[in-house]
Amino acid sequence: QVQLVESGGGLVQPGGSLRLSCAASGFIFSFYDMSWYRQAPGKERELVARITSTGGSTNYADSMKGRFTISRDNPKNTVYLQMNSLKSEDTAVYYCNAQRRSQYYWGQGTQVTVSS
């Protein structure tokens, strides 16, 4: 049974930091590229960051560059998203995604709220 379980979301003040984790099981984690997406109320889901299966390459949405860092630990089957200098516009549900060719898996999401 495939599972992607996100954790680490919550309420943080503007300028603060959070670290999201996504624990994977039920598939060969090291074969999959991993991504974080987010969806704010009334908006479409958007890509935040992606990391290749080996961790050798990453890419970010323009608005996250320099503030967010994606990383992975293949022996632990976990992908992370370090978020710094958070802004109110970063408020959203953050989803973990695994992709290999045409196969996709999604997590259930974790809420991040940036507010004073």
Strands (E), 30-101: 33-39, 46-51, 58-60, 68-73, 78-83, 92-100
Dihedral (CA of 11, 14, 19, 23) sign:
positive
pLDDT of 36: 98
Who's near 51: CB < 8 A, 6+ residues apart? Answer: 33, 34, 35, 57, 58, 70, 71, 72, 79
Output b/e per residue, 36-68; b: 16+ Cβ within 10 A. bbbeeeeeeeeebbbbebeeeeeebeeebeeeb
pLDDT of 43: 96
Sequential pLDDT tens for the chain (116 residues): 999 999 999 999 999 999 999 999 999 999 999 999 999 999 999 999 999 999 899 999 998 989 999 999 999 999 999 999 999 999 999 999 999 999 999 999 999 999 99
pLDDT of 54: 94
pLDDT of 53: 96
